[in-house]
Chains A and B, each alone.
Chain A
Amino acid sequence: MAMTRQEIERITNEFLIEEIEIDPEAIRSDAKLKDDLGVDSLDFVDIVVIVERNFGFKIKAEEMAGVSTLGSFYDYIENKVNG
């Protein structure tokens, strides 16, 4: 089922804030996942679980090679969900 970009961003931001406990003020499209949002390798394991639960697909590490900012993460999810 297709989702709007707005919906994808809302769901993603919500779980980053609620479940990964990222400071809401740090949430910006150009924020770097690792350096700005502080997402480490263990957080990423949990993000894989949460994305599977919310969007119904499993993130593959090799597909994440070019994903470094939150904006590119939204793009990645959008492609997987709607692509």
Chain B
Amino acid sequence: MRRVVITGMGIYSSIGKNLEEVKESLYQGKSGIGIDSQRTEYGYRSPLTGIVERPNLKELLDRRMRTGLAEEAEYAYMSTREALQQAGIDMDYLENNEVGIFFGNDSSAKAVIEAHSIVLEKKDTTLMGSGAIFQSMNSTVTMNLSVIFKLKGVNMTISAACASGSHSIGLGYLFIKNGLQDMVICGGAQETNYLSMGSFDALSAFSVRTDDPTKASRPFDANRDGLVPSGGGATLILEDYDHAVKRGANIIAEVCGYGFSSNGGHISQPSNEGSFIAMSRALEDAGVNASEVDYINAHATSTPLGDMYEAQAIDSIFGEFKTPVSSTKGMTGHECWMAGASEIVYSILMMQNSFIAPNINFETPDESSAKLNIISKTTDKNIDVFLSNSFGFGGTNSALVVKKFRK
């Protein structure tokens, strides 16, 4: 089996618009959460959200390239640009080599709703314009990026709720490991507009701690009252080790384990058993003992049940080793379809800079989280191996194990 390495990464999120800004925010424990008053007017229970600035792409892409990009695809374009640049991949390389793409995305609600509004008013579908279809499909990210970057390899979107981004990396890893591709662009993207999250808000799943937005997302804390939706784009360039060496690429890290499972249970309630299976499989695939893991980037979104089940599952595997755990969602909010990819970027930034970013707002443990070694303040620490969890609606679970690169 071939080794799978990461040779580039990019990020565009509520805590920074590039790797450097995000690294600083992670170290400072800076929150990207704010209030979107449009949500209150629209009828949301909670106006809290990660605040992500729309990029200005006019200088970067021509009109035809921009027309089909939904909001989340714009974010994904920005993170992919940065990742390709870091990997030393230019347009000349992309035109002459086979590069694939797997991206996690599970909605493009704004594009659908806006196109529908035009037809309601005009009673004529042609007045939606040419971009509506390319923006409305879940595959808006992969269909647009494959055209923009002239990709010729595997090309598809992974829709697996809040585990979409993680599964996209897992699949890219499997494709390269099995010799089907030499290089795959993997990532996750998430829209942040008010039209996209109303149906999630309908479940009363969001925090309503509006008096201090930066305190609202509090994974594992006893006083957590729900998640805060957020978004952006995150990209990783996965590559066959020999291929990377041959082209003289700078190797950042190695993806060495992917585990997945499905709960076979409730549509929205998580399960400690399913999480346990995904983590165990990822460790087994990586050939890593639980004792060797230096850091766990938890999925913990700040919901009462989800965090509890994950804490139980982590404790059952890592309890005796007191492995450091943090959920970066305290800072970023829940980046949903993107989270599984962005949290790999966040964790690699920690690994590269030898620190663990804090699980901000973790002040009071509850019965389950008290058993974990949750890092609530930035801690300097060497990280050789980390595990990252992602779980989603429908009981989809994904866990990835990433190692510092060693020849």
Enumerate chain A interface residues (CB-CB to B < 8 A): 19-21, 40, 42-43, 45-46, 48-49, 52, 58
Contact = CB atoms under 8 A, between A and B. Distances in A.
Given A43-B130, A46-B129, 16 more contacts: A40-B64, A42-B64, A42-B130, A43-B64, A45-B126, A46-B67, A46-B131, A48-B126, A48-B127, A49-B126, A49-B127, A49-B128, A49-B129, A58-B124, A58-B126, A58-B127
Interface residues of B, number: 12
A40 to B, nearest CB: 8
A20 B63 CA distance: 7
A49 B122 CA distance: 11
Contacts of A48: 126-127
Given A42-B67, A46-B67, A52 B127 contact: yes
Interface SS, A side: helix
8 contacts: A21-B63, A42-B67, A42-B130, A46-B129, A46-B131, A49-B126, A49-B128, A58-B127
B140 to A, nearest CB: 15
B389 to A, nearest CB: 41
Contacts of B59: none
Interface string B224-236: 0000000000000
Nearest to A61: B126
Contacts of B126: 45, 48-49, 58
B130 A46 contact: yes
3 tightest A-B CB contacts, nearest first: A45-B130, A42-B130, A21-B63
A20 B131 CA distance: 13
B127 A21 contact: no
A5 B250 CA distance: 61
B41 interface: no
Contacts of A52: 122, 127
Interface SS, B side: helix
Nearest to B62: A21
B137 to A, nearest CB: 15
A54 to B, nearest CB: 13
Contacts of A20: 63
A58 B126 CA distance: 9
Interface in B341-387: none
Interface string B43-73: 0000000000000000000111001000000
A21 B59 CA distance: 12
Nearest to A20: B63
A19 B129 CA distance: 12
Nearest to B122: A52
Interface in B119-154: 122, 124, 126-131
A43 B129 CA distance: 9
Nearest to B132: A45
Contacts of A40: 64
Interface string B61-96: 011100100000000000000000000000000000
B348 to A, nearest CB: 38
B131 to A, nearest CB: 8
Contacts of A46: 67, 129-131
A21 B126 CA distance: 21
B156 to A, nearest CB: 22
Residue with the greatest number of chain B CB neighbours at <10 A, chosen from A21, A42, A43, A58: A42
A70 B74 CA distance: 33
Contacts of B124: 58
B293 to A, nearest CB: 49
A45 B131 CA distance: 9
A14 to B, nearest CB: 15
A18 to B, nearest CB: 10
A26 B175 CA distance: 46
A52 B64 CA distance: 20
